[in-house]
A and B are shown apart, each in its own frame.
Chain A
Amino acid sequence: MKLNLEKINGFSVLTVNEERIDAHNSGELKEYLLQLIDKGDIQIIVLLANVRFIDSSGLGALLSGNKQVAAKSGKFVLCAIQQQVMSMFELTRLNRVFEIYADLNDAFNTEN
């Protein structure tokens, strides 16, 4: 899975450079997030602008990251979710569980 990690404004910004998150690669995303959190990175923004498809296992991987960060009183944010992908969050009502912003600027601005 193509993932890119940058440190911006104190956040670990993880860009998912895949069009598709499904049961074939979601395990890798879950594992990557867990290792990141284990290392102490608990201010995480996942940038999903390039993702045009997510299945239930992909939602599960993000949920796993969200839970781990919440347990350490950190912050786990999703950014730039495409419309059809967003409909999956709505259908599973996970849009009420995750902190979601339209873009990185919005995510940073709420911090100020």
Chain B
Amino acid sequence: MCTSVIQVDVIIPTHTKYLDLIGSIGERIAKELDNFTGDREALAYQLNLVLTEATVNAIKHGNDSNPQDTVRISIHLYDKELNIKVYDHGQGFDLANVPLPDFENPKESGMGIYLIRSLMDSVTYTKQEACNVLEIVKYLN
């Protein structure tokens, strides 16, 4: 893959008060896309949301027993692709087994992964030696 135009790496404590900061970075990046011809406001919201949901997911699946635990968020903007990686140090989860929400009898939780999948082009979750990685790709037209 070619070199990224922008790379942003952020490491935050596993605390929800940083969600606004992470989401705002997504919004700002959407406004920097020179060649994007789609709905920029919608994309800005979507990146805010996806980064928020992915970070919450990492905090939730993080290592509860370690107060020094962190979440790393790595954003790479390429010419035609935005790549987001969110790293957690918890037990991990099985992305393939995350069910679709029950639209007829909606529950109060469990919609985060559905939203990420709906708005982005590719979502994978892999367990590595020291951490887990949620990788999200959005193709930019």
How many residue pairs between the two chains, A and B, have CB atoms under 8 Å in the bound complex?
A: 67
Q: In the complex the two chains form, what is the Cα distance from A87 to B23 in whole Å?
A: 17
Say whether, besides A23-B16, A24-B16, A56 and B106 are in contact (CB < 8 Å): no
Contact check: which of A20, A56, A60, A67 meets B20 at CB < 8 Å?
Answer: A20
Say whether, besides A56-B53, A56-B115, A91-B118, A63 and B23 are in contact (CB < 8 Å): no
B127 CB to closest chain A CB (Å) equals 23
Say whether, besides A22-B20, A22-B23, A24-B17, A92 and B101 are in contact (CB < 8 Å): yes
**Which A residues are CB-close (under 8 A) to B53?**
55-56
Main DSSP-derived SS at the B contact region:
helix
Q: Are B45 and A92 in contact (CB under 8 A)?
A: no
A87 CB to closest chain B CB (Å) equals 7
**Which A residues are CB-close (under 8 A) to B111?**
56, 59-60, 92
Q: Are B42 and A56 in contact (CB under 8 A)?
A: no
**Which B residues are CB-close (under 8 A) to A59?**
111
Q: Are A55 and B20 in contact (CB under 8 A)?
A: no
**Which B residues are CB-close (under 8 A) to A94?**
106
Q: Are A24 and B109 in contact (CB under 8 A)?
A: no
**Which B residues are CB-close (under 8 A) to A55?**
19, 49, 52-53, 56, 112, 115
Q: Are B109 and A56 in contact (CB under 8 A)?
A: yes
Number of interface residues of A (CB under 8 A): 22
Asked if B129 lies at the interface with its beta carbon under 8 angstroms from chain A, I say no
Q: Are B45 and A87 in contact (CB under 8 A)?
A: yes
Q: Are A84 and B16 in contact (CB under 8 A)?
A: no
**Which A residues are CB-close (under 8 A) to B19?**
22-24, 55
Say whether, besides A53-B23, A92-B101, A61 and B108 are in contact (CB < 8 Å): yes
Q: In the complex the two chains form, what is the Cα distance from A22 to B45 in whole Å?
A: 13
**Which A residues are CB-close (under 8 A) to B20?**
20, 22, 24
Closest 4 CB pairs of A and B: A60-B108, A24-B16, A56-B111, A84-B45
Interface residues of A (CB under 8 A from B): 20, 22-24, 53, 55-57, 59-61, 63-64, 67, 84, 87-88, 91-94, 97
10 example contacts (A-B, Cβ-Cβ < 8 A) are as follows A22-B56, A23-B19, A24-B16, A24-B19, A53-B45, A55-B19, A64-B108, A88-B49, A91-B115, A92-B103
